[in-house]
Structure 1
Amino acid sequence: MATNRKKLVLDHLNELNKAVTAKDIAAALSLDRTNISRYLNELYKENQIKKLPGRPVLYQATLSDEDKEEEDHNKKAFSRLIGYDASLKEMVQQAESAILYPPNGLHTIIFGQTGTGKSLFAECMYQYAVESKALSADAPFITYNCADYAQNPQLLFGHIFGVK
């Protein structure tokens, strides 16, 4: 019985083709979340699915070799950053998790010294969101340099939230 349910969970992940939580799967399959978590962890240990970092933990079906090549070819957003797969790897993973966080991603704010590439990192996050289909291809990319509004923060709030 457990093997059938584990296969059911795997099949559901393959159908979705996106990262989801154990709670989402439990709700979709009308099963206990605790058991779903156990099946997901077993599938992860068997290298049948991916476990994405963050809270809550997201699970995603492992791609076939053909799908991996296509994803590597398409997902080049963060490759523009020097160190995206080394010194910046943790920050890139956090950004990816924030973008894919259910249901609509998380708001982010990027801090750092002048000239460290905050704007470039934000552009890479936007490109990743478009590539991941978290945003539509025609979604606008709008930046605000908060330093320009240091003397008048109300002006920044007006730009972001609007005025009445």
Structure 2
Amino acid sequence: MYVPVPRQFVAEVQAYVVQLSGHTTVEGDASGEKPAGETLSEQWTVEVLQRLAATQLPSTQSVSRLLDVLARHAGDYVSTTRLVELLDIDRTHLRGALSAFSRHLKKHFHGRDWPMTWIEQLSPSPDFKTEFFYTVDGTIAQRWQQIRAEA
């Protein structure tokens, strides 16, 4: 559905949509492939992460690069500002990639949650009041690094 949003509120609306789709537990689906209450580490097995890493969609490749960064800093929250610097992409591209990634997970990964978690906090950048900070846990980070090393 198309909903017109004034330009100055686009980032906040996109963040809100991401927030609505981001949660830490999941409900089971009819296939039984995603039982209720699975943790992210249980959802994101080595096999599932391998499928993700093999995905050639540009948005998923951008998220894979984001996961590369987060895996190197497992357990630490990395700001959007820092991610766009490290990935050499702009904020709009990152937001679009994450939005497309959510749709991809819903369609091809039985609606799994993102393999990373996020929080919104005050921004260290004077250009933004708040921003999102992303992290992956140690288990997912280790699995991701193993998969990327084997590729």
More strand by share: 2
- What TM-score does the superposition give when structure 2 sets the normalisation length? 0.36
Q: Which one has a bigger Cα radius of gyration?
A: 1
Task: Flag the structure with more relative contact order, 1 or 2, with Cα contacts below 8 A and sequence separation at least 6.
Answer: 2
- What TM-score does the superposition give when structure 1 sets the normalisation length? 0.33
